[in-house]
Structure 1
C-alpha cells in the first residue's frame, strides 16, 4: 500500500472535507492497490458509508467487501494503538490476525444481512507490541450497496476495559469485606474474640481495646494512647517470643494473612494460650502502614487437644496389645487373603507373559543357533553363507526387542512418545498376543476400517490400553463369549462432539465390544475413577480404566462407555485425526553408510555394562570419533568437570553408585551449559528423563538399538545448533 504524493482536493470526494488525520489518510491512500479499486470508482453506497464513519466522534470501522477492507475514523485509530495506520486499507482477517476466527463470523453474519451485539466482550489483542486482554461493547450492522444488498459491515467499538477491571476489583473488595465482617460478627456472637488491636507501623504505636490489654497484663487506661511493640511482647512466654517476633517480621515484609498462637502472662502471673489473627495494609508505593487484628482465646482448645493426645496415647497402647492378639489369631486368614490378592495380580500378567516367554525362547534359539552356525561356517572357511546367519540373528533380535518393549508398555515404564500411528497395523501386530491373553474359550474378531486415518498417539500406550480393554472384556465373560475390536473414521458435528465432550472435527474410533454381563448406570458413572474396579474379590483382575482415560485425554481424545446390564459393553476410544501419513516400520540400516565424525569430535560413553561400552566405543572409533569410557555416574561427572573436549555425552539412565544418568547430565550442564546428551536405556523411565519432556539438546534412544541409528542420532545431535 503506498500513499500518493499528489494532493487531491477534499471537495473531489462525496464525503467532503474533515474527518481529521484519518480523513486525510483516506484521501491520499493508494486504494487501487486494494480490492476496492481507485477511490474515483467507488460506488455511491461506499462513499456515503465512508463519510458517515469519518465524521463520527465514536470509534467506528467499516469492513467493506468479502475481504472486509478496513476504513475507520480518528477515534478508532486511538483504539487501534500501534497498529494504526497499517490497518487502514488492510483485510480485517490479516489486520487483526489474533482474532481472525471472531471476525470471520462477524463478516459471515453481516454479509448475510444479520446484526450482532456484544456487551463487555473479552478479546486478546496485540496493539502495543504484546498481547493484552481487553473488553469492548461491539455493535455490528450490515451496510447495503446501491442495489440494496449487504456489501459490508459497520462496527461501533467502545472499549470498556477500565470499567470492567474496576468493577471486578470493586466486587472482589466488597466480597472480602463482607466475608471479614461476617467472620467478626460470628466471632463476637460466639465470644471467640477477646481483644482487638491496631498497630501503626510508621510510628510503632499499638492501640488496643480493654480485652487485649487485660489478656496481655497491660494497663487498659493506656490502651488508647498506645504501646510500642516491645511493651506488647514483654509479657509473652520466653519460649514463644522468638517465634512470635519472626512471624511478625515475615508478615510485615511479605504481606498476606497473619495467624500465630503463643502464650501470654495475665496479671496473676499465669500463662494462657491465645491466637492472633491480622493483616498488613500497605501504601500505594508498597510501604507497610497499618497492622490491625483480633485475639482469639484458644486456651481451652489447647487443653482439650492435650487431653485428646493423652487419650490417644493410652488408646494406642491398648490397641497395640489388642492388635497383637488379633494378628496372632488371624495370621492364617491374612496369609490366605494375601495369596488371593497375589493370584489376582498375577492372573493377567501370567497370561500375557506366558505367550511372550514362549516367543522369546524361540527367538533366543534363533539368535544363539545363528551365532553357533556362524562360528562353525567361519571355522570351515564357508564364508559365502555368513550373510544368511547374520540376517537371521538380526531379525530375531529385532523381534525380541519388540516383545521386550511390549512388556515395558504393559508395566507403564515407557516414556510418552506420540507418533503418527497406523492403528489397524498396530492391532494386527497385537492380535496374536491378545488371543493368547483372553484364552481359547473367547472368540476374537477384528474389523479394521479400510482407509483408516492415522492418529498422533504413543503406540506403546495405545497397545497397553487395547490390551487392558480386552482383559476387562474377558473378565466380564466368565463363561466365554465374543470380543470384537473395530476401527472407523468419524466426522463429529457440533451435536455429536458435544455429546462426547470433544471439539467438532474428524476422529478415529477404536472400539472393544464384549458379550458379557454389562454395567449398570451407577457403575458407568464411576468407571474412570482411580482405583475403582467392577470386579469383586476372586472374580477377575478388574483392571481400572482411569489410566486409559488419562492417556486418551492427554492425547486430545475421549473415552466413552456404551453398556446395558445383560447385553454386553462397548468401550470406544476417540482419537483426533492426524493429517499426514503414519510412520512406516524402520528398515535395518547399514553401518557402512553411517555419517563419519569431524576431526577432534569427542564422545563420553557412560554405561555400567562393559559389553555395551565396548560395542559403542568400537563403532564410534571406526567412524572417527574419540571415545572416552566411564562405568558409573561419579566417574563420568569427573570427566565432565575436567578440561577435556566433550562434544556429546552418551549415558545409560540407570547407573550404579547413587547417581543416575539424568542427575549426572544435569550436574555436567552446570559446568558445560551447552552439553549435548543422548540417553540410552532399557526402560526410558519417565521420572528420570523428565516425564517425556527433555530439555533442548537432549534425546533418548531405547535399547536395543541398531548401531547405525546410534551413529546417525549422535551426528544429528552434535550438529544441531
Structure 2
C-alpha cells in the first residue's frame, strides 16, 4: 500500500512545489512593481531638481533683462530649495556606481551653474551690466544645464533598463512555470490512473485473501487462549532482551576498546624488549581507544542526566576575592563593584571553575542590563532553606546552603521574562549581544551540584539572582599536585613577542627561549611593526590584546597586511568569555589566556606553527 501511494504523494509534492514557486513569483512581481515605483519617484525628484535649477536661471535672466528686483524672488526661492532637494535625491540614490557617478556630474554642474548665476547678479548689482551680460552669453550656464539634463537622461536609461531586465526575467520564469505546470498536471493524471488500476488489482487480491482468512479463523479460534499466554511470555522476554541488549552492547564496546588498548600495549612491550622503537602507531591506537571509551562514558552520563564535574572544597569568599581584578576588567570602569562577604562563611563542595564561570556570567548579564553603567553588588551569606520554602519549590531539599547573591541596578525583568530566563537560547539582548545560554549554564551547573537558583526582579527596580550551594560537612581535602610534562622537542622558528608590561614581556621571552625559539620582543604595536619589517623570517606574532596606542587586533591586521601568512596568537589577562562578550576577539582566532604554563604555551605555539 505504501508503494501504491508513493506516486500520488510524489505528484502532489510536485504540485505543491509549483504552487510555492508561483507564490515566490508573485512576490517577485510585487518587488518589481515596488522597484518601478521607486525608480519613477527617484526620476521625479531629479526632475524637481532640474526645475529648481531652471527657475533659478529664469529669475536671473529676468532680473538682468529688466532690472526688477521682483524677478530675483523665484531665484532666491529656488536657491533655498535646491539643498533640500539634493538631500532627498542623495537619500534615494541606490548604491550603484554608474548612478553615483552621474549624480556627481549633476552636483558639479549644478554647483557651477549656481556660482555663475550668483556672479552675474553680483556684477549687475555693482553696475557692471555689460560684464554680467557677457558672462551670460559665454554659455557656461547653458552648458551646465545641458550636462545636468544629459546625466539625468543617463540615469533614466539605467533605471528603465533595470526595470525591463526584471520584467524580462519574470516573464521567462512565468513561461517556464506554465510549461512545468502543464507537464506536472499530465504526470499527476497518469499517476492517478496507474494508482487506480493497481488499487483494483489489490482489492481483488484482498477479497480472495479475506475469504481464506475467514476459513482459517475458525481453525485458529481454538488456539486463542494458548496464543495469549505465549504473547504474555513473549512481552516479558522482550523486556529482558532490551535490558540485556543495552548492557551487552556497552560491554561489547568496552571489551573492544580494552582489547585494542591491551593488545597495543603488549605489542609495544615486546617491541621495546627487542630494541625496536617504532611503537608510535600502537600508542596512537591505544590513545584513540581510550578516547572512545571516555566518549562512551560521557554519553552514558548524559543519558543518565549527569555531567562530569571536578568538585573541590571551596571557600567562596576567597574565590570572590581572587576574582576581583577579573571582574573589574571584564565589567569595565562604568560598573561600580561592591562585595559584601559574610564572616564565618561555610564552605561548599563544587567545581571552582564552574562557580567562577557562573559568577562571571551573572556579572556580565548585569552589566548588559545596566548598559555598562551602574552598581553591581555581590554578597555571600550562610542560608537555611526550610520546609516551608521547599514546599513551594519542589526541586529544593531543605537544609543549609552557602548563598551567593548578584544584584544590579539595571532595567529589571518582567514576570514573563523571569519565567523563561533559564530556558536555553532565550535572550532579551539584541542580535550579536548574547547567545541565551549564560543563565541556562548557571542553572544546569547549580542543579547538578545539588543547589538552587532564584531570580528576584521587577521592571525598573533592578535584579537579584541568588545561587544556593549545599554546605560542605567534613574535613577539607588537599589539592592534588599538578603534573608537568617536560618537552624536549627541538624548535628553530623566530617569534615576535609584543607586550606592554615589561615584566610579563621578559618572562614570556625567557620561557620561549627555554623552549628553543628565537625570540624578538617589542613593547608596543608601532615598535613591533618596525622590528617585523627589519627582521626577515619571523614565523609567529605573539601579542597582548589590550595595549595603548595600538591594540593587539589592530597590530595583527597591520602585520598580516605587510606579511601575509604570518601566524598570530593573541593573549590577555581577560578570560575567554570576557573577551567574547566585549567583542575584542572572534571565535576563530588563536588565543591563550594569561596566566599560562610552559606546557600550555609550548602546546599552543606548536599547534599554531604546525597548522598548514
> TM class, shorter-chain normalised?
0.3 to 0.5
Question: Which structure: greater helix fraction?
Answer: 2
Q: Per residue, is there more strand in 1 or in 2?
A: 1
Higher RCO structure, 1 or 2 (CA under 8 Å, sep 6+):
2
TM-score, with structure 1 as normaliser: 0.34
